[in-house]
Amino acid sequence: MRDALGIGLAVGVSGVAFGTASVAAGLTVAQTCALSLFAFTGASQFALIGVVAGGGNVIAGAAGALLLGARNTLYGLRLADILGVRGVRKAVAAHGVIDETAAAALAQPTPAAARTAFTATFAALFLFWNATTLLGAVATERVGDTSAFGLDAVGPAIFLALVWPRLREGRRIVLVAAVGAGLALAAVPVLPPGVPVLIAAAAALLGPAAAPAPADEDADGGEATGGANGPDGDGDGASDLGPAQEVRP
Amino acid sequence: MTVWIAIAVTAAGCYALKYAGLAAPRRLLDHPAVRRFAMTVPVALLAALVAVQTFSDGGSALTADTARLAGVGAAATALLLRAPFLVVVAAAAGTTALLRALGLG
């Protein structure tokens, strides 16, 4: 429970950052809050508003957001057995399948504890994330020009914090990150805004050809630990939780 | 209006992706190629987002805004020092804001 509140608080900070960045990008307060309420997965939300800010192609922005959101599918695959929810409860629980809830649930020793952790983290996060999004959005709307606050550095800083724990997984991951960044930068002058980031996904294909598949364990621990990826990322949430262990019911 | 459509698509898509995980047969995860690709994609995307948002203003020009570069550098330093997330974000915004207040970048 205390963990859930701690994560909620850290995520709340990013909520303010998201609300602020979103309104600064040109979205209305209503649009900003709608994203936090209904998309409820921070990295995707930041990716979408980043493209809108540049006056880019919103379709490319949405595609980037969805590609980032695809990791939640993986969390769902791993949580399905543990949560054991059906029907309406499954439909509600699905909304909460994100980095922090997965990391919190998978770190628990028993399925019962995992269910409690999932529910508590989901509730705390949903509350904090949406309240602070509104706060940041309204505040920014009042202030107007926010460039003096250095908020344009917040987006990259958050993404950096999200990818950081993953970079410790080994050389292949570092290579993927470097190639992804390089591809995207090279594409910026020639492709419409939003598309360069999509191109970078191709870097993920580097893996299998470049290196033999790692042990299962590696992939498992890595994802859940790197799972500080947030509704938008609470860089330190994962380290608080320690390396997540798979709960096997 | 287009922004609303993008928001609706993003929200619906993100929910569908989450739900698909809970609903899909678990053995999908056992396919090593699927699993590796799915776990690696976010790394490539996040790194790309860091690079693009650091070195461009969202448009088609590559830029090097001194204040923003310093802000991202401060965030990287904070991460190296294992600072909490809050400190990382504050370091980025604070450094950039400070440099702008001083008339740099």
The ipTM (two decimal places) reads 0.87
Residue A249's pLDDT is what?
36
- Residue A207 in any domain: the answer is yes
Residue boundaries of the structural domains of chain B: 1-30
Residue A2's pLDDT is what?
58
d(CA A162, CA B47): 9
Q: Do B75 and A157 touch (CB under 8 A)?
A: yes
Asked if A33 contacts A130 with a C-beta cutoff of 8 angstroms, the reply is yes
Chain A interface disruption, residue of B28, B50, B55, B69, most A CBs within 10 A: B50
Residue A209's pLDDT is what?
43
CA distances from A3 to A104, A169, B33, B69, B74 (A): 8, 25, 34, 33, 27
The residue with tokens 């360069």 is A196
The stretch B14-40 carries a mean pLDDT of 82
- Please tell me which of the candidates A35, A147, A181 has its beta carbon nearest to residue B48: A181
d(CA A10, CA A26): 25
List of chain A residues whose C-beta atoms are within 8 Å of the C-beta of residue B10: 35, 39, 44-45, 48, 61-62, 65-66, 69
Q: Do A184 and B52 touch (CB under 8 A)?
A: yes
Q: Which 3 state secondary structure label does DSSP give B36?
A: helix
Chain A interface disruption, residue of B10, B80, B88, most A CBs within 10 A: B10
Q: How many domains does one find in chain A?
A: 1
Range of the domain at A116: 2-229
Helix A71-83, helix A111-143: angle, nearest 10: 140
d(CA A214, CA B65): 40
Torsion of CA B69, B70, B72, B74, to 10 degrees: 170
CA distances from A43 to A36, A64, A247 (A): 11, 10, 26
- Residue A141 in any domain: the answer is yes
Residue A154's pLDDT is what?
83
Tell me: the pLDDT tens digits for B29-72?
678 887 777 778 888 988 998 999 899 877 778 989 999 999 99
Tell me: the pLDDT tens digits for B66-99?
999 999 999 999 999 999 877 888 899 899 999 9
Q: Torsions phi, psi of B62, nearest 5?
A: -85, 130
Q: Do B18 and A95 touch (CB under 8 A)?
A: yes
Instruction: Please report the number of interchain residue pairs, chain A to chain B, with beta-carbon separation below 8 angstroms.
Output: 338
- A181: closest CA of chain B, how far (Å): 4
The residue with tokens 């798979």 is A246
d(CA A229, CA A226): 7
Give me the half-sphere count of Cα atoms (radius 13 Å) on the Cβ side of residue A36: 32
Give the chain A residue nearest B69 (alpha carbons).
A153
Asked if A93 contacts A82 with a C-beta cutoff of 8 angstroms, the reply is no
Residue B75's pLDDT is what?
96
Determine if residue B63 is left, alpha or beta; phi over 0 gives left, psi from -120 to 50 gives alpha, anything else beta.
beta
Question: Chain-wide mean pLDDT for chain B?
Answer: 88
List of chain B residues whose C-beta atoms are within 8 Å of the C-beta of residue A75: 18, 21
- Residue A50 in any domain: the answer is yes
Q: Which residues of A17-126 form beta strands (DSSP E)?
A: none
Closest CA to A57 of A246, A163, A197, A206: A197
Q: Do A10 and B86 touch (CB under 8 A)?
A: yes
DSSP state of A246: -
List of chain B residues whose C-beta atoms are within 8 Å of the C-beta of residue A158: 89
Predicted structure pTM score: 0.73
Residue segments in chain A with a per-residue pLDDT below the cut of 70:
1-9, 207-249
List of chain A residues whose C-beta atoms are within 8 Å of the C-beta of residue B75: 153, 156-157, 160-161
Give the chain B residue nearest A26 (alpha carbons).
B3
- Identify the sign of the CA torsion A79, A86, A41, A60: positive
Q: Which 3 state secondary structure label does DSSP give B15?
A: helix
- Which helix (H) or strand (E) segment is A112 a member of? helix A111-143
- Residue A205 in any domain: the answer is yes
Tell me: the pLDDT tens digits for A191-230?
877 788 888 888 988 865 444 444 443 333 333 333 333 4
Residue A239's pLDDT is what?
33
d(CA B101, CA A181): 30
Position B24 pLDDT exceeds 70 = yes
d(CA A56, CA B82): 34
Asked if A155 contacts A46 with a C-beta cutoff of 8 angstroms, the reply is yes
Residue A210's pLDDT is what?
43
- Residue A174 in any domain: the answer is yes
Residue A233's pLDDT is what?
41
